[in-house]
Amino acid sequence: MAISLTHGQLPAQGKVVVITGANAGIGLATALGLARLGAEIVLICRDAKRGKAAVRAVAQAASTPPSLFIADLSSQRSIHELSAALHKQFTWLDVLINNAAAAFARRELTVDGIEKTFAINHLGPFLLTNLLLDLIRRSFTGRIVNVTAGIPGSPSAAFMENLQGEKHYGQFSAYRSSKVGNILFTYELSRRLQGTGITVNCLHPGPVRTEFGQKAGGTLSLMSKIFRPIMRSPEVGARTPIYLAIAPEVTAVSGGYFVNCKQKRTAPITYDQAIALKHWEISEKLVSLNTSVKGASS
């Protein structure tokens, strides 16, 4: 995939792009790629030291100085504080890329009493996106891009009864469930934002050599070690999020799932609007958020 240049102009010039989990891996590669194309990059990182290192790297590739915000996306208070800080600094946002993700070998709870995989991978993007929708609405072509994963097999509605591993917990099943949630959220939010000009899409970057698998522990670390020699580089993994962030041919495309910059079908359950609505309502309750019919935060 290559984003073409027109009359010497950078295709992302003037775009304000927020990227979560931007200090390493796909997030950093996406930030670097979009910075080279002219975007103003806003990096959201959990660790200040690593975040500052990422900002220095992006600054070398950028025509506009990047910004850094430190936030713990497992904490709802931290997400609200992040939203307030972004509202203070920016009048609008053109693109939000929800990239941050985690997986845990054992069941752990956040400061809000929520299982961490579900909290970071789904509730974090759900809350942050809804809190930033007013800024995204102010862009002429606002885009929301959710990084999810390939979903092996065909998940059943039963996963809804164990969203936080309340009945039984497994690292892979918890991660898989959270990524099904990303897709349900993408499709439901796209429906709610019809007619607003904002597009919402998700993507599977493919198996990528990042620190994520190595740090996860358990089954995912073992799988990452075994398959690492055939995994993609972060730069290759970043191609699809970059494409969805700025490619002109997807300006009017919303509610899609992309692999290698091409739209693909997902598991049947992800198209079940009743399941998506129930999943949304559960998420809304867990983050104490009231959303309007169009998906804007109140």
- Quick check: helix, strand or coil at residue 174? helix
* Residues recognised as catalytic: 175
Q: How far apart are CA 103 and CA 117, in angstroms?
A: 5
Q: Count Cβ atoms within 10 A of the Cβ of residue 287 and give its class: 0-12 exposed, 13-18 middle, 19 or more buried.
A: buried
What is residue 228's DSSP assignment? G
Q: How far apart are CA 164 and CA 101, in angstroms?
A: 15
φ/ψ of 24, rounded to 5, equals -160, 170
- Quick check: helix, strand or coil at residue 125? helix
The sign one gets for the Cα dihedral 57, 63, 65, 66 is: negative
Answer for the pair 13, 36: CB distance below 8 angstroms, yes or no: no
Q: How far apart are CA 78 and CA 67, in angstroms?
A: 17
